[in-house]
Structure 1
Amino acid sequence: MRAEDIEQLVSLSRPAVHPSGAFAVVATSRPSLRANRNVGQLWRVDLRDGARRRLTGGTADRTPQLTPSGETVLFVRGDADDTPQVWAMRVEGGEPVQVTAERGGVVEFAVSPTGDRIAFTATVVEPGRYGTVDGVAATQESPRLITRNRSLANGIGSLVGRHVHLFATELPDLDAEPHYARAAHPHDDESTRDDAAAAPEAVRLSHGEFDHSAPAFSSDGQRVLCITARHDTRDDDLLNAVVEFDATVEQGEPHTVLSSRAGLSVSQVLSTPDGGYVLLASKVGESGRDFVARSTQLFVLEHAGSHPEEVTEETSVDLGEPSSHATVVDDGVLVQERRRGRNRLVHVTGGGTKELIGGDLEVIGHGVGEGVTVATVHTPTSMGEVAVLDDRGLTVLTDFGAPLAEAGVVAPTEHEFTGRDGATVHGWVWVPEGEGPHPVLLNIHGGPFAQYGVGVFDEAQVAVEAGYAVVQCNPRGSAGYGREHGLAIKQRMGTVDLHDVLDFLDASLDAHPQLDRERLGIMGGSYGGYLTAWTIANDHRFTAAVVERGFLDPVSFAGTSDIGWFFSGEYTGDDADAVRAQSPMAHVDAVRTPTLVVHSEHDWRCPPEQGQRYFAALKRNGVETALLLFPGEDHELTRAGQPRHRLERFEHILAWWAKHLPTPKNHA
C-alpha cells in the first residue's frame, strides 16, 4: 500500500448482535483525506451470508448497542456542535432521535436490561472553563490551581475543573414529533430561551470531585454500576473501586461493591443473573502503582463486598489488549486474550479456558446471539471484518478490507530466533519484490507492555511498497508472552530489550540473503522511540534513524507527562545513577546517526519537550537532525490523527529514508 491508501484502513467496532442471531450491527471507521477526519457509519451484517447494508448516514457514527428486544439501536454521533451524544433509531431503519444533550459530551453508555433507559458518563466542566462562557477565551480563564497528580490527560489536556460523572435517562419515543429549534422573534431579549429540550432530561446520579467510568446496569436494571476512585490516596496510586447508584435518584450516595482496599485496578464490571459480578482488573501491588507487566485478569464476586476470586492466572494469561471486554453467557464468560501476536476469543468457566476463535487474526470485539458467537477481527489483509462462529464453524463473512487488499498488501514471514543469552525472540520480516539487496528498516513498537501482531500494519506496508524490507519483533518487555517476559526490563530498560531487537535483526539478515546488511535504518514511537534513541547511542551500524514521540528523559517526564508521576519510577526506578544509566538523554552525546525527531504539540503522554530537547542536543553535537512537529495532534497521531497529517508524516519519513537509504521506488 502507498501512504495515501490509509483511506482504505477500515476498522470495525465491537459488534452489536441481534438476540435472534440473524444479524449484527457494526460501526466502520476510516481516515478520509477529503474530510480530514475519521469517518464511518453503522452497518447491518447478515450472519448467514454476510450481506450488508448501511444503516446510518452520519459523519462518524460509532459504538452501536442494541436494546434487549433488538428493535432499537443506540450509538454515538456528534450533535450540531460535534459534541458526542447518544442517538437512537429503529434497527430496521429510520431517522435517528437524539437521546442525550450533555454540553460536555458523552464518554460511554450502557443499555438497561429492560431496554427503556440508558446509563452514561459525560464530562462536567466547571463554569467559566473550556469555553463554557461565551466570549471567555482560553487565555482569559482563571488560573488552574493544581494539587493532584492527575491533572493532565493525553487527547484532552488539563483536567482541572473537569470531571466525568454518571447519568441515566429514559429513551425517547421514536414516533414522537421531532424537535424543532426555536426561531428568533422580534421581541426576544436576554431572558428569552428555547425551553424545548433537544433530548429527554437526564438524571445525574453521581456528585463530587470524582471521575466515573465503565457504566453497566445491575441484572434487574434498578442500579447502575461504575468504576471510580474515591479513597484518600487516589492521587498517589492506580487503585479504584466498583460502586453502584440507584438508577433514578439524583446525585445519590454510592454503595460499594468492591473497595479500593482489594488492591485492584478495575477496567470493566458486569453483573450476573445470580447477583454476583464479573470484573476485568489488574493487580497493582502493595504500592498501588506496581503496574509493569501486570496482566489483566478475570475476577468474580459472589456478592457486593465479597472477596474477588481470580479466575484466570496472572503469570501466563493476559486479557488486556486495547479493546478487551467481557461478555457474560449462560455457562461462563467470554474474554479476549492476547498471546504471541494474536488476540483470541476464549470461553472461561470455573473448570478452565477454551479457545473459541483463534488463528492468524486479532479479535477486536465480540458479542453473542441465539446460536452464534460474533467477533470483529483484524486480519493480515484487513483492519476489520465480521466473523461468526456457529454450526458451520468459523466463517469470516465480510470484505470491508477488499479495497486495501487491491491496493497491495505484502505478507510477512514469521520467525522465532534464539538470542545471545538463549532467550527466544518472536517477530516478522517483510521483503519487497525483487532480488535486492533491499535496505532494511528495524521497527520497534511502543508500550513497552504491548505487542506487534499479525493484523495488517500500515507502517510496514507503506515501507515495503517503497522498497524497504521491514523487521519487527516483540522483545522482552512486550506483552503476550507471560509476565516474566514483560517484567524483564523493569528498572533495567535498554538491556535485554536492546539485545533482543539487535539479535532478531542479525538473525533476520542471515535468514533473508536479499536484505542489505550494510544499509540499515531504525525507527520507533513512544517506548519504540526510547529504544531507537538508546540503540543509536550504543550501536553505530545504522545509516539513519527516526525517533518518534519518544520517552527520552525519565527525569523531566515525571513532571510533564500525564502518566509521568508513576511511569518513570516504576520502569526506571528512583535511584539517580540507575535512572541516568537507562536514559537516552543522558547518553545523547554518544549518538552519531542522522536522526529525524517526530513529535506532536499536544502530546501529553510523551510531551514535546522530550523530542525538542533531544533534537537540540543532537543539533548542538553536530549530528544531522531535523524536528518534525505536528500542530493540533497528540500521542495518537499515527493511529487517530488528522488524515492529512498522517499522510504528511509518511511523506516526511519516506523523504528522510530517500535521502539516507534510497531505493528505486523512493529516492531524492
Structure 2
Amino acid sequence: MSKRYLKAEDLYALKSVADPRLSTNGKDLVYVETSISEEKDEYVSNLFYINVEEKNAPVQWTYGNDRNHSPRWSPTEDKLAFVSNRSGKNQIYVIHANGGEARQVTTSIYGASNPIWSPDGKKIAFNVSLREDEKLEDTDKKEEKKIVPLEVDKMKYKSDSSGFWDGKYSQIAIVELETGKIELVTEGNRDYQLQGWSPDGKSLAVTADFSENLDFSFVSDVFLLELETKKFEKITPGTGYFSGATWSPNGRYIGILGHEREFENATLVKIWVYDTEQKELSCLTAESDLLIGDFAIGDFQQGAVSPGLLWAEDNESFYFLASDRGNTVVYYGSLKGEMYPALLERQHVYGFTTGGELNRAVVAISKPTLQGELFLLDVPTGQLTQLTNVNSEYANEVALAEVEEIEFKSKDDWDLHGWLMKPAQFEEGKKYPLILEIHGGPHAMYANTYFHEFQMLAAEGYAVLFINPRGSHGYGQKFVDAVRGDYGGRDYADLMEAVDYVLEKYDFIDVNRLGVTGGSYGGFMTNWIVGHTNRFKAAVTQRSISNWISFYGVSDIGYYFNAWQIKSELEDAETLWKHSPLAYVGNVDTPLLILHSEKDFRCPIEQAEQLYIALKHRKKETKFIRFPESNHELSRSGKPSLRIARLHYILNWFKEYIK
C-alpha cells in the first residue's frame, strides 16, 4: 500500500512525548504524552510509565481530557508528584506508583506549579502566585473576573507569556503531605523561582532579582534560602542570568547554567559550579565556544523541559545538553574539566534524564522525519534502544520528505550551514518552486528536528531551504554576536547567498518560482527582503517587526531590546529608522501576506498594522490576517484550529502567487 502525503490537519493525529523522568533506581520511567482533542480544540496531556529494563509497553497512569504534566519522583520512589488542571486550575497531585487515585495536595487560589520533593519524601515545595498582601490560606476565595482599570506604574507591566501584570508575584511554599499544612517561605514584592532542595533538607535553591529598580535590571541570581532562618545567601555575582541550579548527591556542589551578559542576550550560556564548602563559584566552560542547553526550534513538541546539569553518584561527574551546528548533543562533564560528547548524532535531543546513573540515560529525540520518541541510551557504547512508538500508525501511513545538509562559504569567507528539503514527491528532471524559511530570535537555531510546516510545504511540491545565518546559536560566540547592530546587513546577505548557492548546485529548483517566509526576527527579515529585492514571487511575514521606533514603546522587551540588538536608543531615531523595513515599503513589489496574533506582546500587532496600511496606501498586493486570542507562540503552542488555519493561509498564498 502506497503512503499518502502530509496535510496540515495531520497535527490532530500526532502525539508528542516529553519531559522523561527516570527514578534513581534506574528502571522506572515516567513521561508526558500530549495529543490534541479536535472536538474540544485543546491539548490533552497524560502521564505514562515504562520499566526500561523490561522494555514493556507503556502503561497509562492518568486519564481524561485535562493537562497532566511535570511528573517528579519521590526520593522513596514509591510516589509521584505532578501538576494537573483537572480542578480548573493547575494544582499539585500525588499518586502512588502501585496504583490508586491521585490525591490533590494544593488548593491555591491561582494554582500551583513546579513540584520539588524534600529529601525525606515528606514534603513538596512548589511555586504559587500571590499578590503582595494576600495569604496562602485564602483557599475559599474565588478569583475575581470583573473588568477593572489597569493601573500601570512600572515598565515591565506586560509579557507575551502571561499578558498584563495583575499584581501577583511568584512565591515559594511547602506542603507537608501527612497533615496538609502549607507554609509560605517567601513573600513580598518580587518574584522567586524554585530550583531545588538541598540533600540535607536545610535549604532551597531559588532564583530572584534583588535589584532595587527592576525596570532597569536584567539579572537573575541563584540564592540559597535557609528554611529555618529564612535567610538568603547569594551565590552568583549579580552580573547576568543564572538559573538551572542542581545539587550534587552529597550536597557539596551546585551546578548552575548562566552567563554574565558580556554580549547581552547573545551571550553563550556556560556551566558554573558553586562549592558550598569553599564558598566559591567557578565557570567550567569559560574558555569554551560551546553553547550549553537546547536552543533548537521547531513547531511540534509540547512540554519540553531543559534538565540543567544531571549529576552522577560520584559527585564529580555530570551530563548536560549542548547546541552545536544544528544538533543538540548529550555531553559528559566533570569537575576536573573533562568535557566530551556522549551522544553525538544528527538529532535534536529535547528531553534528557539519568536518575543519577553514569551509564544509562533516557533521551527524547526528534529528527526531520521523526516527530519525537524516547530512547534508552547505553552511555558506554552509545547504543540507543527505542522505548516509545507513539506515532507508528501515522508513520506507516504518511510519507515525509528527507532533508540534505548544506555547507558553503559566504562572500566574506564565513562558514554557513543549513538544510534543503526536497519535495516529498520529487521526480528527477522536474522543476520545483523553493520556499526560503527564516527563523526567529535571531539567537535561535534551526536543527535536525521535525518541522510540521516544512513537511506540509514539501508535501505540496515545494522545496524548502532553511539555514542558520550569522546571529544564530550553535556556531560560537563570534557568530551569534555578529548580527547585533547589523540587522539587514550581513544576515540578509547570508540568506541571499544561501539561495544563490542552492540555485547553482541543484538544477531542480526553478529560479522564477521563489517564496520566502519567517516569524518574529524571521518576519522582520521577510519584510526587509521584500523591500530590498524582487527575486521572490510571494512572501508571508509572521509576527513581524516593521518599525523599530514604535517597537521601542509597545513591545514587552522593546525599550531594552533596541539597545541590545540594533545598538541604538530612541534618541537616535535615524538609526532605528534605517533598520526598519517600513522605511523601504515603497520598494515592495512582492505580494505580501501578513499574519499576526491579536495578543502578541513580543511583536505587537501594531507592527503589522503599520505595514499593512503603508502597503495598501501604495496600492501594493497584500492581505492581513489577525488571529484572535493568540500570542507570539501561535505557531508552536497556540489553539490547534488556529495553528492549522495559519498553515493553510501560508500554503494558499504561495499557491496563488507562485504558479
* Residue pair 1:107, 1:123 contacting (<8 A) in 2 also: no
- Say if 1:360 and 1:380, in contact at 8 Å, map to a contact too: no
TM-score normalised to the size of structure 1? 0.89
User: Pick from 175, 178, 189: which aligns with 1:169?
Assistant: 175
Determine the structure 2 residue equivalent to 1:444.
438
**Cα distance in structure 1, aligned partners of 2:479 and 2:413:** 13
Of 545, 559, 569, the residue aligned with 1:565 is 559
**Residues 408-447 of structure 1: CA deviation (Å, up to 9, x unaligned):** 2211111112222222221111111243311111000011
1:301 is aligned to 2:274: yes
Q: Which residue among 351, 365, 377 is the counterpart of 1:365?
A: 351
Cα offset for 1:62? 1.0
Worse overlay, 276-285 or 462-471: 276-285
Following the alignment from structure 2 to structure 1, what is the Cα–Cα distance between the partners of residues 141 and 99? Answer: 38
- Please list the CA deviations of residues 214-244 of structure 1 after superposition, one character each: whole Å capped at 9, or x if unmatched: 4310121222111000122432121122223
Q: Is the 8 A contact 2:67 2:86 kept in 1?
A: no
Matching of residue 389 in structure 1 with residue 365 in structure 2: no
Residue 40 of structure 1 aligns to a residue whose secondary structure is: strand
Q: 1:203 aligns with which of 183, 200, 206?
A: 183
Using a 3 Å threshold, how does the CA distance of structure 1 residues 133 and 73 change in structure 2: closer, same or farther? closer
SS state at 2:292 partner: coil
| Residues in 1 aligned to 2:536 and 2:286: alpha-carbon distance in whole angstroms | 41
**Compared CA separation, residues 137 and 494, structure 1 to 2 (3 A):** same
Match for residue 345 of structure 1?
330
Unaligned 5+ residue runs, structure 1? Answer: 174-199, 663-668
**1:265-317 Cα deviation digits (max 9, x unpaired):** 112112332433211112214xxxx5232111110111289442111136511
Q: Map of 1:103-502 to 2, 5 A cutoff?
A: 103-125=109-131, 137-139=145-147, 141-147=148-154, 149-172=155-178, 200-247=180-227, 253-259=230-236, 261-272=237-248, 273-285=250-262, 290-303=263-276, 306-313=279-286, 316-322=289-295, 323-324=305-306, 325-329=308-312, 330=314, 331-349=316-334, 350-369=336-355, 370=357, 371-390=359-378, 393-406=383-396, 407-432=398-423, 433-435=425-427, 436-502=430-496
How far 1:126 moved relative to its partner?
6.3
Indicate if the aligned counterparts of 1:415 and 1:427 stay in contact, CA closer than 8 A: yes
Instruction: For 1:489 and 1:578, locate their aligned partners in 2 and report how far apart those are by CA, in whole Å.
Output: 15
Aligned pair in 2 of structure 1 residues 434, 332: CA closer, same or farther (>3 Å)?
closer
Structure 2 counterpart of 1:194: none
Q: Distance in 2 between matches of 1:13 and 1:204?
A: 30
In the TM superposition, residue 358 of structure 1 has moved relative to its aligned partner by 2.2
In structure 2, C-alpha distance between the alignment counterparts of 1:635 and 1:452, rounded to whole Å:
18
Q: How far apart are residue 614 of structure 1 and its match?
A: 1.1
Assess if the C-alpha contact under 8 Å between 1:294 and 1:314 holds in 2: no
Cα offsets for 1:315-361 (capped at 9, x unmatched): 51111325432212223221110011110111111232121122021
**Deviation digits for residues 533-579 of structure 1 (CA, Å, limit 9, x no counterpart):** 11111111111100000122222122111111211211002233222
Q: What is the CA-CA distance between 1:134 and the residue it aligns to?
A: 6.3
How far apart, CA to CA, are the structure 1 residues paired with 2:272 and 2:534? 48
CA distance in 2, matches of 1:465, 1:615: 30
Matched, 1:95 2:90: no
- In 1, the alpha carbon distance for the partners of 2:515 and 2:141 equals 50
| Contact kept? 1:378, 1:384, Cα under 8 Å | yes
Mark the CA change 1:134 to 1:78 in structure 2 (over 3 Å): closer, same or farther: closer
Instruction: Work out the CA distance in 1 between the residues paired with 2:322 and 2:112.
Output: 28
Q: Does structure 2 retain, via aligned residues, the 8 Å contact 1:119–1:215?
A: no
In the alignment, the residues of structure 2 paired with residue 172 and residue 4 of structure 1 have an alpha-carbon distance, to the nearest angstrom, of 47
Distance 2:113 2:11 in 1: 27
Shift of residue 51 of structure 1?
A: 2.5
Structure 2 counterpart SS, 1:387: strand
- Relative to structure 1, the CA distance from residue 335 to residue 150 in structure 2 (aligned partners, 3 Å threshold; closer, same or farther) is same
TM-score, normalising length from structure 2?
A: 0.90
Decide whether aligned partners of structure 1 residues 161 and 395 sit closer, same or farther in structure 2, where only a CA change above 3 A counts.
Answer: same
Give the CA RMSD over aligned residues.
2.1
Displacement of 1:394 in angstroms is: 2.6
Cα separation, partners in 2 of 1:50 and 1:614, compared to 1, 3 Å: farther
One-letter identity of the residue aligned with 1:450: A
Matched, 1:75 2:82: yes
Aligned to 1:24: 29
Give the letter for the 2:351 counterpart: G
User: CA–CA distance in 2 between the matches of 1:573 and 1:155?
Assistant: 25
SS in 2 for 1:308: strand
Contact 1:525 1:550 in 2 (8 A): yes
Cα drift, residue 382 of structure 1:
2.5
1:549–1:600 Cα contact (<8 Å) kept: yes
d(CA) in 1 for partners of 2:440, 2:623: 22
Contact conserved, 1:155 with 1:602, CA < 8 A, in 2? no
SS in 2 for 1:622: coil
Query: Is residue 578 of structure 1 aligned with residue 566 of structure 2?
Result: no
2:623 to 596, 620, 626: 626
Distance in 1 (CA, whole Å) between partners of 2:329 and 2:457 is 28
TM-superposed CA distance for 1:455, in Å, is 1.0
Q: Percent of aligned pairs with the same residue?
A: 28
- Answering whether residue 651 of structure 2 is matched by residue 654 of structure 1, we say yes
Answer whether contact 2:8 2:648 (CA < 8 A) is retained.
Answer: yes
Give the aligned residue type for 1:372. R
Partner of 1:235, secondary structure, is helix
Gaps of 5+ in 2: 1-5, 135-139, 296-304
Asked if the contact 1:146/1:160 (under 8 Å) is kept, the reply is no
1:84 corresponds to 2:84: no
User: Which residue is 1:602 aligned to?
Assistant: 599
Alpha-carbon distance in 2 for matches of 1:387, 1:481? 27
Could you tell me which amino acid in structure 2 is paired with residue 167 of structure 1? A
Instruction: Note the C-alpha offset of 1:491.
Output: 0.7
Q: Which residue of 2 aligns with 1:183?
A: none
Distance in 2 between the 1:594 and 1:636 partners?
25
In structure 1, the residue corresponding to 2:531 is in which secondary structure? helix
Structure 2 distance, partners of 1:267, 1:9, is 33
Structure 2 residue matching 1:239: 3-state secondary structure: coil
- Rounded Cα–Cα distance in structure 2 between residues aligned with 1:607 and 1:305: 48
8 Å CA contact 2:160–2:632 kept in 1: the answer is: yes
Where does structure 1 differ by over 6 angstroms across 4 or more consecutive aligned residues? 132-135
